[in-house]
Structures are given as C-alpha cells and as structure tokens.
Amino acid sequence: MTPGVFEYHRPNKVEDVLALLAEFGDDGKVLAGGHSLVPMMKLRLAEPAHIIDINAIASLRGIREEEGMIVIGAATTQAEIMGSDLLNEKCRILPDAAALIADPQVRNCGTIGGNCANGDPGNDDPAIMLALNASYTLQNQAGQRQIAAREFYEAVYTTALAEDELLTEIHVPAPAKGTGMSYQKIKRKVGDYAIAAAAVTLSMSAGQCTDAAVALTNVGDTALLSLEAAEAIKGSAVDARAIDRAADAAMADCEPVEDMRGTVEYRTAMVGEMTRRAIAEALSRVAGS
C-alpha cells in the first residue's frame, strides 16, 4: 500500500496555506495529523495532487484562555489535549475523550482540528464540540469567519468548510462553575471508532439542572446534538426518571447503520446506555454536588 504521486508543500505561515488552498482548490489537501488522509491515499481512495503540510505553523498549535473562551489551535495534537493542565482543570471532557481516541502514537500526530473538520462521523471531537457549543474559526484569503459547531456538520465528509478555507482555531466557551461533563464511549478495542458514544454537559443550581447538552458520536451521518435529550433533564433534579427520559430521547434521535460494530438495534440501545452513563458521570462531576 503506497500513495500516488503528489507535490509536497510545507508552508510556515497560515497566509501561505490559504494562498495554496486558493491556488489548488480541489487538487490540494491539508495534511495535519494525516492518520485519516494518509491511509486513504495509500488505498488510492484519495489522490490529491498537492499536499499542504500545516505542521510547521506554530501559530496553529496551543491552548489558551481568553475572555471566557478556551481557544485551541487546530493543529494541537490529541496528546497535547490530554496533557493540557488548562483543559484538565476547566474542560476535562476533551482530555478524557482524547484518551479514548486511537492509541498513543496516533494521538501524537492526530490533531483536534483534523478530528473536528474532516467530517468523519466516527470522529469523537465533533459531538463534544456540539455539546460544548464550540465554534470554529475558518480562514481563507478573503478573511475569516466564526461558525458554530452546531452549524458546521452537513453530511458524511461534508461540512461548511469551503475548499479554500482552513480551520485555524476552536473556541470553547469556558464552562461555568457548577458544570459537569462526561464523554462515554463503547468500542470494540483500543483504536476503534465508537459503537456509540455520548457527550454530556450539564449545570446544576440548587439541585436543579439549569442547562444541559447531549450529543452523540457515530450514530448518524454526522455527530448529532439531541435537543430532546437535553430537554428531558433540564429543570429536573436529574433523577433516574429524567435520565431514562433523556436516554430514550437520544435513542429516538440517533440514526445508526448496521456495521461490524453491531445492529441498528444494538447501537441504538448503546446510545441510550452511553447517554445514561454520561449524564450520571457529568452529574457526579458537578462541583460541590
């Protein structure tokens, strides 16, 4: 298994990436971690004429907090996400999820931007971004725009990212105190995509859930935000009945297909179970509860 012929570009600045994207259009592919793209190229299912390697661009890496927003460079690796003190303190769902993605070597290469932007419904970060209500900074030569993750995903491998655009940053609203979060993923083995997974954030005040979000991985054409599941626990004490209602709602919202991971029935049931577990863990992590 070897890739086809291409020309390799390794720009040092975002502007140069944007110029190359503008020039090559469909013939150019951005190489970040490469662990989705390179296997496709080796299978000759992807044959870009130009590879634009963004790994030399320091400004695309790193995690910082500014004005109530956690800003993550798109080329930040999953290993860096796992090791980030800031995230482990303020938004642990991201490092928790990163530990469930692929394996140590792949996490050293794989980036959060690639995971969010390539449109594979098996990727774990999109559901988390939906739950966190994150937004993506997309740049092209004309300028930049900010798009909510909740508006980004369209279909399998189809997103709002235009051919000439680069995802440069991910903006995550810093979770308020009293927010608990959890990502629960069932998979066959290390390195596998989810049979089903659920990302949950919830906030509690005086024993009542004041805000919640539930999103699902690999059980539809894109990551799915289950508004109904969130509604089921909002305003409740997040008791067993509310959790069951949320699980039922998530199951109703998901659209898995049968594959090697299981039947539609099984994967739907796992959506319910992962939702239950994620809500329970998120609740247990609400500070002071």
The Cα–Cα gap between 21 and 13 comes to 13
**By C-beta, is 142 or 190 nearer to other proteins?**
190
Q: Considering only residues 44, 64, 177, 241, which one is a binding residue for other proteins as defined by CB under 8 A?
A: 44
Q: Does 105 bind other proteins (CB under 8 A)?
A: yes
**By C-beta, is 51 or 116 nearer to other proteins?**
51
User: According to CB under 8 A, which residues from 210 to 269 bind other proteins?
Assistant: 260-263, 265-266, 269
The Cα–Cα gap between 150 and 133 comes to 7
DSSP letter at 231 equals H
Q: Considering only residues 75, 186, 197, 230, which one is a binding residue for other proteins as defined by CB under 8 A?
A: 186
| 64 DSSP β-pair partners | 71
Q: Does 68 bind other proteins (CB under 8 A)?
A: no
Q: Which CB contacts under 8 angstroms, 24+ apart, belong to 26-30? A: 26/163, 28/52, 30/54, 30/166
Q: Considering only residues 38, 71, 160, 280, which one is a binding residue for other proteins as defined by CB under 8 A?
A: 38
Q: Does 7 bind other proteins (CB under 8 A)?
A: yes
The Cα–Cα gap between 48 and 44 comes to 10
Q: Considering only residues 18, 24, 32, 34, which one is a binding residue for other proteins as defined by CB under 8 A?
A: 34
Shortest Å, Cβ 162 to other proteins: 26
- Hey, is 148 helix, strand or coil? strand
The Cα–Cα gap between 164 and 204 comes to 42
Q: Does 25 bind other proteins (CB under 8 A)?
A: no
Pick left, alpha or beta for residue 280 (phi over 0 → left; psi -120 to 50 → alpha; otherwise beta): alpha
Query: Which residue has tokens 């930049």?
Result: 144
Q: Does 188 bind other proteins (CB under 8 A)?
A: yes
Q: Does 6 bind other proteins (CB under 8 A)?
A: yes
Number of residues located near other proteins, criterion CB under 8 A: 44
DSSP β-ladder status, 158-159 and 63-66: unpaired
DSSP letter at 159 equals E
Shortest Å, Cβ 262 to other proteins: 3
Torsion (CA) 237, 241, 247, 253 in degrees, nearest 10: -90
Q: Does 108 bind other proteins (CB under 8 A)?
A: yes
Q: Does 192 bind other proteins (CB under 8 A)?
A: yes
**By C-beta, is 107 or 171 nearer to other proteins?**
107
Shortest Å, Cβ 99 to other proteins: 8
| 65 DSSP β-pair partners | 70
Q: Does 27 bind other proteins (CB under 8 A)?
A: no
The Cα–Cα gap between 205 and 255 comes to 33
Chain contacts with other proteins (rule: CB under 8 A): 1-8, 10, 31, 34-35, 38-39, 42, 44, 51, 53, 55, 79, 102-106, 108-109, 186, 188-193, 195, 260-263, 265-266, 269-270, 273
